[in-house]
A and B are shown apart, each in its own frame.
Chain A
Amino acid sequence: MSEEMVLSIYRGDANGGQEEEYRVPLETGMVVLDALHYVQAEAAPDLAVRWNCKAAHCGSCSAEVNGRPRLLCKTRLDQYVGQVVHIRPMHAFPIIKDLVTDVSSNYRVAKQIPAFQPRTPAPFTMYQRDVDRVQEFHRCIECFLCQDTCHVLRNHGGTDQYFGPRMMAKVAEWEMHPMDVADRRQFLKDVAGLPMCNVTRCCVDVCPEHIVITDNAIIPLKERVADQYWDPIRALFRRFHRPAEGAVPGAGSDVSSRA
């Protein structure tokens, strides 16, 4: 006879709710999402859980398992043997029902980010080494676990204060693109709330795609903002030096940093 796991699942909506316990037989290779499907099939057909690919690619099934933001489809159940498995919706977002939250605030702030602005019309000729850096951020599946674990969004005013780590990765993806000419530093400082981040790296800890958001996106962006607003020597340098116009990667032109 297989072992039985106890799941304590949050049931409720925007008006409130509480955890309710369900018992699920543990099977080999079972993930938490499988256990929730078992609960839906056997005990609570009205249990709301958002999911799609069940392969850690769509980023739909984000929730908190025993206090840690996780993808439900990528979290094996057998690691919790001997424990009650507490499953709750993401704390940083408003609850719609049970484990389903309203993540639309992320899409709202994403629209405010100054879009990719190429120096020449596509198609581009770029070298792989220049594209590698931004391709790390392309791995993002928008599960918003980083947004959920970010203490600014979680405890200090949400996306009104700081757009969050996911959005910083999105800004970095464009800001560091070799063909992009837009300058987003003032936007980062005054609108996106980059100074609200105190680089505690929780976003890196929870990212299922292992994107090193803090070190490769947020800190480089903070350094670029510091170039513009906190570095008098660079400010002096900028007064006497202007980068070459119309430079194109690989086309024999000299491209200088906007810093």
Chain B
Amino acid sequence: MAQPLAKGLAGRPENHGSAKVQRPWIEPAVTAVVFGLFVLYSLWEVLFHANGVYGSYVSPFFSPQVGRWLGMRNFIAIPVVWIPLFFRGTCYYYRKEYNRAWFWHPSSCAATEPSGRRYTGESRFPFSWTNLHRYFWYLAVIVLAFLWKDTISAFFFHQGFAVRLGSLLMLANAIFLTLYTFSCHAFRHLVGGGKDCNSCMLGAQAGQPTTSYRMWTRVSRWNQRHGGWAWASLISVWVVDLYIRLLIMGVIHDVRFF
């Protein structure tokens, strides 16, 4: 199987319809605003709240509750929240987005950047640390395991099994985070992207596709939508946390379906 093309590119006519007048600032502006709001919300949540638990629900910002295990009374999200932060911060997709939106390197394709701005790409600190993405991936998988545990727990209440709006939101969040995590470029490299030969096996297996090849082709397909999963999981984390925060504050009541 050839490497997958980006969805919809294969066979796409080069030009269709009319070429819109370009407004290259729209995409980076929207991205900058959404990312900025998420960062401000995260700071408010992590720095000003000491509890992220409501009944069977645990906010993704506060899971696993390492701060509580360590006996911390304040900033209990801090011992864990840096992992998803750096995982996303070093993610290849997010690098594209924040380099365009925040640093304007470039603000849009084929745009002329302001002259006189020094640019070192990812060759100097702090951006050279994006090379450590794989390590944040390893840690993110551990956090993801706890999120799935929390998600299963979110379907069990004092009265037993129940499906509530919070349970479904947490389930959707866990699914989006799983898709985001396992469509990662570093994971794609890890499972088989680093190999040049996928038919080089001994004996009867010679010429047969290896397990790593099968995994690589599958992750490659997931990887085409990595950006979509990145956005979906960012929003789902935001929504789930806000829902639990509003429950804790008594602003809303949980909706029970059955």
Interface flags for B11-28 (1: CB within 8 Å of A; 0: not) read: 010111111011000000
Interface flags for A74-112 (1: CB within 8 Å of B; 0: not) read: 111011111100000001000000000000000000000
Q: Is B201 on the interface with A (CB-CB < 8 A)? A: yes
Interface flags for B92-131 (1: CB within 8 Å of A; 0: not) read: 1001100110000110011111010001111100011001
Interface flags for A37-69 (1: CB within 8 Å of B; 0: not) read: 000000000000000000010000000101111
B131 touches A230 (CB 8 A): yes
Cα A206 to Cα B106 with chains together (Å): 15
Interface flags for A5-46 (1: CB within 8 Å of B; 0: not) read: 000000000000000000000000000000000000000000
Q: Is B10 on the interface with A (CB-CB < 8 A)? A: yes
Interface flags for B119-156 (1: CB within 8 Å of A; 0: not) read: 11111000110011110000000000000000000000
Whether A195 touches B19, Cβ cut-off 8 Å, given contacts A64-B110, A257-B196, is no
Cα A230 to Cα B198 with chains together (Å): 25
Q: A152, A177, A226, A253: which has the most chain B beta carbons within 10 Å?
A: A226
Q: Is B189 on the interface with A (CB-CB < 8 A)? A: yes
Contacts of A199 in B (CB 8 A): 92, 95-96, 99
8 Å CB contact of A91 from B96, B110, B131, B133: B110
Q: Is B33 on the interface with A (CB-CB < 8 A)? A: no
Q: How far is the CB of A6 from chain B (nearest CB, A)?
A: 14
A212 touches B197 (CB 8 A): no
Q: Is B70 on the interface with A (CB-CB < 8 A)? A: no
Contacts of A154 in B (CB 8 A): 106, 110, 112-113
8 Å CB contact of A215 from B99, B111, B122, B223: B223
Interface flags for A128-160 (1: CB within 8 Å of B; 0: not) read: 011011011000000000001101101110000
Interface flags for B187-216 (1: CB within 8 Å of A; 0: not) read: 001000111111111110011010001000
Q: Is B185 on the interface with A (CB-CB < 8 A)? A: yes
8 Å CB contact of A75 from B6, B10, B15: B15
Cα A158 to Cα B113 with chains together (Å): 14
Cα A127 to Cα B201 with chains together (Å): 12
Contacts of A230 in B (CB 8 A): 131-132
Q: Is A170 on the interface with B (CB-CB < 8 A)? A: no
Contacts of A168 in B (CB 8 A): none
Q: Is B251 on the interface with A (CB-CB < 8 A)? A: no
Q: Is B249 on the interface with A (CB-CB < 8 A)? A: no
8 Å CB contact of B200 from A205, A231, A254: A254
A196 touches B1 (CB 8 A): no
Of all chain B residues, the one with the shortest Cβ separation from A152 is B121
B207 touches A196 (CB 8 A): no
Q: Is A252 on the interface with B (CB-CB < 8 A)? A: yes
Q: How far is the CB of A34 from chain B (nearest CB, A)?
A: 14
Contacts of B131 in A (CB 8 A): 222, 225-226, 229-230
Interface residues of A, CB < 8 Å — how many? 79
A200 touches B2 (CB 8 A): no
Contacts of A195 in B (CB 8 A): 121-123, 128
Sample of 11 more A-B contacts, CB < 8 Å, known A69-B110, A178-B196: A76-B15, A79-B16, A148-B110, A151-B111, A154-B113, A206-B109, A215-B223, A223-B185, A250-B199, A251-B200, A257-B194
The 4 closest A-B pairs by CB, nearest first: A202-B109, A196-B121, A255-B200, A195-B123
Binding site for B on A (CB under 8 A): 56, 64, 66-69, 71, 74-76, 78-83, 91, 126-127, 129-130, 132-133, 135-136, 148-149, 151-152, 154-156, 162, 175-178, 180, 193, 195-202, 204-206, 208, 210, 212, 215-216, 219-220, 222-227, 229-231, 247-259
A–B Cβ pairs within 8 angstroms, 25 of them: A56-B14, A68-B22, A68-B110, A76-B15, A79-B16, A81-B18, A82-B18, A129-B199, A133-B3, A154-B113, A155-B115, A178-B200, A193-B121, A193-B123, A196-B119, A196-B123, A198-B121, A198-B122, A212-B3, A215-B223, A220-B185, A226-B133, A247-B197, A249-B199, A250-B200
